Amino acid sequence: MSVYPVSGTGKGTLIAILFKEHSEQTEQTGIREKYDINQTAAQRITDLEHELQVSQNDLRTTIEELETVNEELQAANEELLTANEELQSSNEELQSVNEELYTVNSEFQQKLDELTTMTNDLSNFLSSTMIGILFVDSQLNIRKFTEYVGREFQLVNQDVGRPIQIFAHSFPEEDIVSDAQNVLKNLVPVDREVIGMNGRFYTMRIAPYRTTENSIRGLVITVIDSLGEGSEHTENAQ
């Protein structure tokens, strides 16, 4: 056992009592080892100061990282606010466009109703008239025809879109395809009286199909049973 005074603050005196187990040789020789408590305390303080410095450095680094993350979050929040404003603006524009589309759609529906009515009127006219009308495009493909002329060209509804050249007609003395090609080339209508296979006289007219923009989109071929039987026509002519 060893007793040492310890320097410190305060009125009382501090002492340190150390108990140390000695080997037999030490007990026999009576040699004692001296323990320097001041050096140990100083080393411990140094170690604690080093650990404190490391902790402070780590804390400072963590704070800097948190500040950086906070700045990034703030920037991201500002970008999000900007994107939200742009989205709101886009939504307002989309709503405005939607209202315009609704207006246009209403106008379109009105025009469609008018067109449907006109189509129905035309279909009823074409189906009820005794005038044969045949519409062909610039390649002489059938676009539309009345029932009356359909009988003369042996046409059915499924023939729409097919070329007129492949169909036989009731006017064997007439080259209707050649006349149609000439009208498309010269844009001069052809009017003549023709005789059908039934011996009746007809007035045939082949004229250009003009749009409202004055462009040619094919031909209109009309056939009218105007003068009755061939013998009756001859008598009237005399």
Number of domains in the chain: 2
pLDDT value at 1 more than 70: no
Say whether both 156 and 114 belong to one domain: no
84-96 per-position pLDDT tens digit: 999 999 999 999 9
The confidence score (pLDDT) of residue 44 equals 84
Residue found under tokens 């007129």: 164
What amino acid occupies position 128? Answer: S
201-237 per-position pLDDT tens digit: 989 999 999 988 888 999 999 998 875 554 444 444 4
The confidence score (pLDDT) of residue 33 equals 57
Residue 4's pLDDT band, with cuts at 50, 70 and 90, is: low
Instruction: Using the 3D structure, point to which of 128, 154, 182 is the last residue of a domain.
Output: 128
Q: What is the CATH number of the domain that holds 169?
A: 3.30.450.20
The confidence score (pLDDT) of residue 154 equals 85
Confirm if 198 and 161 have CB atoms less than 8 A apart. Answer: no
Distances (CA, A) of 131 to 164, 199, 202, 229: 19, 18, 10, 17
- Higher-pLDDT residue of 86 and 15 is 86
pLDDT value at 23 more than 60: no
Would you state the structure tokens that stand for residue 26, as one six-digit string? 């030490």
3-state secondary structure of 3: strand
The confidence score (pLDDT) of residue 122 equals 79
Instruction: Using the 3D structure, point to which of 75, 94, 128 is the last residue of a domain.
Output: 128
Say whether both 121 and 220 belong to one domain: no
Phi, psi at 136, each rounded to 5°: -130, 155
State how far the Cα of 140 lies from the Cα of 176, in Å rounded to an integer: 11
What proportion of the chain, given as a percentage, has pLDDT over 90? 45
135-161 per-position pLDDT tens digit: 999 999 999 888 888 888 888 889 999
Q: Between β-strands 14-18 and 2-6, what pairing exists: parallel, antiparallel or unpaired?
A: antiparallel
Question: Poorest-confidence range of 29-43, 133-147, 194-208?
Answer: 29-43
Whether residue 90 is contained in a domain is answered as yes
The confidence score (pLDDT) of residue 199 equals 87
- Higher-pLDDT residue of 63 and 126 is 63
- Per DSSP, 166 falls in state G
- Range(s) of the domain holding residue 145: 129-237
Whether residue 104 is contained in a domain is answered as yes
Instruction: Using the 3D structure, point to which of 108, 128, 148 is the last residue of a domain.
Output: 128
Say whether both 62 and 159 belong to one domain: no
Whether residue 5 is contained in a domain is answered as no
The confidence score (pLDDT) of residue 238 equals 41
Q: How many CB atoms lie within 10 A of CB 176?
A: 21
pLDDT value at 3 more than 80: no
Whether residue 31 is contained in a domain is answered as no
Say whether both 90 and 106 belong to one domain: yes
Say whether both 51 and 115 belong to one domain: yes
